[in-house]
Structure 1
């Protein structure tokens, strides 16, 4: 039972794909040379056969003219026909009655054809024809002479063509073998940079040494590939460095609250085991200690959430959508008031549509308001303004606090950075870093300046989405007072 042609083709394709690139290049080079040699030999063989045919026909015409001239002088019946020498030219005379004369000892020629008969009768011009004899093919030329005709023939000899073909076959095989060797050499030379690149990649994978640099060599595609891998290694180095810094900073930031929490919990456990909890810690002190524990747990929870959010980087499963940034600002302000009841937020927002991730934008705005709420005095609200400015959505959050020192401005968005004046306040130093990451991911920019009230002014510019004619949803000032 024969297999379908499609199955055989698929198996051949799978076999070919499993071969190495060096083997493929060798096979392709050998095949290309074999095809070229075959076509060249075919053309050369045809040209050789044509040249031999032309030479034989010219010789037959010349010999027939000599024999015809002699026949016209001596007559067809009396023209002398030398004995056949054993090889070479064959001749005969066709008499007017259709009979023939041949030299003595000459092999028998094929019968006179109908066309040759018409030449002898004078009704047709000279004729060159090839016919099959008993053993060999003949090339026969018929020429009108007197009242009849003369014929000169030659046995077609294919031995030169056969010898040429055999020679060309041997040369072709040598060319194919040489082509395969040349192809393999070229493949080895051409793929040497890739071999070195592979060895370097394997070495990096085994040693985990991301500081390795692959030398830039070659040109074209090889150079672009090496540059791409070097860029990838540089990106991995930066990622590992950022990860190491994040872990080190997280360890530093977590150690203090965890130590304080552990000491307080150990104190409660030790007093409880001794049965002196009530006597050693009056109700007021115990309440203060439990409140301190709750604040520390809340601080750790916030820090863990911010670390998780920051460690994700730009990776997020949240889809991008066109949304009204005013909705995000109002929701974040409401959330900030619920988290810190003492905060008061004054909103002056205008409907501006942007393309972004709702949760990420909400977190950034909430961090801005939380940061401003730490510094804003009790009698001064946090002012939040949103407006469209050209092709941007501009969000400004300012407070009436002491502002940010000029020395702290360059580092205000660094991870875990906290100014000396902020170390006594709650927080992890990650809030503004998360703001900058979210804004950068949305193609915007964030800056810090001093507000008109003397406090800090943080400004966020985001690309605005195309207007859809829906109008402005918010206008004027809305205040979310303290509880």
Structure 2
């Protein structure tokens, strides 16, 4: 039983969802007008029926008072009753013995009710009652007169209400038709900006022209929607431009190591084909060449990894969590030492809690240490300091190298940018740009300055977070422990 019953509403819902917005607005407008007309008809019919009833009752009372005055003068048994005119009111006199008198030719009224009989006997002064038991319903007013009572009645006539209802039905149908037409027109006019917006979006999708903005028109929600789409197109334009620049820069950066790698490989292949590899290259030359090839392959691997990291942009599956930045720094130092065993790092870190992505932050710290390691002399360690400063976590990495020229400072964090004196060092020019992006994603700020040792001082400020409750209570009791 529940299956067929539930299928009807589901079909109606599916039908409704398949309709266009214009059709929905038209149906809603027509339905709203139909409901309004129906409610207005019900209210008007009720008011009209009450008004007609009150008018009829007032007329019955007035006629009864005239007849009662005649009956009191002449007596109920002798009062003259005018002949029945053929329509309109009906009269009747109730005698003390319960019998009745009616005019000649008048249709028979319903029998005298018990309550009307008690009025004739003097139990009450008057009585208004309705009788709908016969084909014609009557409204009868009974009034005490002398030693009996008089009654005046009228047939209950519903024809005015019926005519009114028929007229309201016609008006309602016209209103529904007009409402549907108005709703369709309003929908067409109101949705015109949406149509133009759709056409513009389709044009952008077909032409791939993100520079073709959508005209800002309309107001309210429509205007906000157009502005949002234009902002989305602007973001897509910026993203496409960034991708193009990244591809061009990557092609440029890959050209040199690939050319060098190709030339070295071609040299080895040519000598091997001639059978002169051993005679043309000494053992030391072969070792240097193979080391050069290995360095170039390592540089390409690093560049490919960093290009992948940059191309991913803000896309990351890593969740943000509350973490101790000191643990992240220690993990990054451990990775740096495993990658470059000769690097020396001096640590001075304090437990500072932040909200962030652990892997991204560790990559940023590792890039800072790798960058400093390239410049620091062998006998000078890379210094890594972490402390809390107000509402920020401050990470500083400095080296004892030559420092950064003032002309290069504004572009230190740009993609692929390398200072003139860094051209001969390994690297892709992407490490610090990755640091900048990670810091920006975490709401922080990365800056560069000159170290007290003469080298570069790279500083990262991140918003600090409150430690977990148990650690906060322990810190309050014991103080912050330096690592």
Specify if TM > 0.5. yes
Moved more, 177-186 or 283-292: 177-186
- Tell me what 1:370 maps to: 370
Other structure's SS at 2:235 match: helix
Once the 2 structures are TM-superposed, how far is the Cα of residue 134 of structure 1 from its aligned partner? 4.0
The CA distance in 2 between the partners of 1:245 and 1:425, in whole Å, is 23
CA positional deviation for 1:265: 0.8
Q: Does the 8 Å contact 1:326/1:474 carry over to 2?
A: no
Match of 2:83 in 1: 83
Q: Does 1:201 align with 2:223?
A: no
Partner Cα separation in structure 1 for residue 96 and residue 329 of structure 2: 122
Distance 2:122 2:328 in 1: 112
Structure 2 Cα separation of the partners of residues 276 and 341 of structure 1: 38
Per the alignment, residue 20 of structure 2 pairs with 20
Tell me whether 1:354 sits opposite 2:384 in the alignment. Answer: no
Residue 287, structure 1, aligned to residue 290, structure 2:
no
Against the structure 1 CA distance between its residues 7 and 417, is the aligned structure 2 distance closer, same or farther, given a 3 Å change threshold? Answer: same
Name the CA shift for 1:60/1:344 in 2 (closer, same or farther; >3 Å): closer
Structure 2 residue matching 1:414: 3-state secondary structure: coil
For 1:175-215, what per-residue CA distance to the aligned partner results, in whole angstroms no more than 9, with x for missing partners? 12212222222222222222222222222222212112222
Instruction: Describe the shift of the 1:198–1:77 C-alpha distance in structure 2 as closer, same or farther (beyond 3 A).
Output: same
Please report how far the alpha carbon of residue 453 of structure 1 lies from its aligned counterpart in structure 2 after TM superposition: 1.8
Pair 438,105 (structure 1): closer, same or farther in 2 beyond 3 Å: same
Distance 1:114-1:300 versus aligned 2 partners, 3 A rule: same
Any idea what SS the aligned residue of 1:106 has?
coil
Rounded to whole Å, the distance in 2 between the matches of 1:337 and 1:2 is 71
SS at match of 1:135: coil
Cα offset, 1:147, TM superposition = 2.5
CA distance in 2, matches of 1:207, 1:21: 27
Q: Distance in 1 between matches of 2:26 and 2:113?
A: 56
Secondary structure of the 1:179 match is helix
Aligned to 2:148: 148
TM-align CA RMSD: 2.1
Q: 1:98 maps to what in 2?
A: 98
Q: Report the secondary structure of 1:109's partner residue.
A: coil
Q: Tell me, which stretches of 5 or more residues in structure 1 are unaligned?
A: 476-483
Shift of 1:279: 1.7
Corresponding residue number in structure 1 for 2:345: 345
Q: How high is the TM-score relative to the length of structure 2? A: 0.92
Secondary structure at 2:393 match in 1: strand
Residue 307 of structure 1 is matched in structure 2 by 307
Report how far residue 346 of structure 1 moved. 2.5
Structure 1 residues 140, 346: CA separation in 2 closer, same or farther (over 3 Å shift)?
closer
Q: CA deviation at 1:334?
A: 3.7
SS of the residue aligned with 2:323? strand
Q: CA deviation at 1:299?
A: 0.5
2:219 is the counterpart of 1:224: no
Deviation for aligned residue 1:292? 0.8
- Could you give the per-residue CA deviations for residues 361-397 of structure 1, whole angstroms, max 9, x where no partner exists? 2221221122122222233222222222223222222
Q: Deviations over 1:287-307 (max 9, x none)?
A: 111111111000000100111
Question: Hey, what does 1:478 align to over in structure 2?
Answer: none
The equivalences for 1:22-421 within 5 A come to 22-132=22-132, 134-421=134-421
Q: Give the superposition deviation at 1:429.
A: 0.6
Q: Equivalent residue of 1:111, what SS? A: coil
Where do residues 437-448 of structure 1 align in structure 2 (5 Å cutoff)? 437-448=437-448
The answer to whether the 8 A contact 1:120-1:148 is kept is yes
Count of aligned residue pairs for this structure pair: 475
CA gap of 1:351–1:152, structure 2 versus 1, over 3 A, is closer
Deviation at 1:443, TM superposition (A): 1.9
The superposition leaves residues 127-152 of structure 1 with CA deviations (integer Å, 9 ceiling, x where unpaired) of 22221364311122222223222222
C-alpha distance in 2 between matches for 1:474 and 1:74: 125
- The offset of 1:250, in angstroms, is 0.4
| Deviates further, 223-232 or 246-255 | 223-232
Moved more, 74-83 or 356-365: 74-83
1:394 alignment partner, SS class: strand
User: Given the superposition, is the C-alpha separation of residues 112 and 300 from structure 1 closer, same or farther in structure 2, using an over 3 Å criterion?
Assistant: same
**In the alignment, is the contact (CA less than 8 A) between 1:299 and 1:426 conserved in 2?**
yes
4+ residue runs of structure 1 moved beyond 6 angstroms? none
Q: Give the match's secondary structure for 1:10.
A: helix
How many angstroms does 1:473 deviate by?
5.2
Tell me, yes or no, if the aligned pair for 1:365 and 1:435 is still in contact at 8 Å. Answer: yes
**SS class of match (1:416):** coil
Which shows bigger deviation, 158-167 or 227-236? 227-236
Compute the displacement of 1:438 (Å): 1.5
Summarize deviations over 1:308-353 as a string: whole Å, max 9, x none.
1111112222233333333333333343344334433222333333
Question: Gapped runs of 5+ residues in structure 2?
Answer: none
- SS in structure 1 at match of 2:383: strand
1:479 matched residue in structure 2: none
Inter-CA distance 161–350: structure 2 relative to 1 (3 Å threshold) = closer
Question: Contact 1:372–1:399 at 8 Å: present in 2 too?
Answer: yes
Distance in 2, Cα, partners of 1:72 & 1:331: 119
Offset of 1:415 from its aligned partner?
Answer: 0.2
Aligned residue for 1:157, secondary structure, equals coil
Q: 1:428 to 1:72 in 2, by over 3 A?
A: same
Maintained 8 Å contact 1:354/1:463: yes
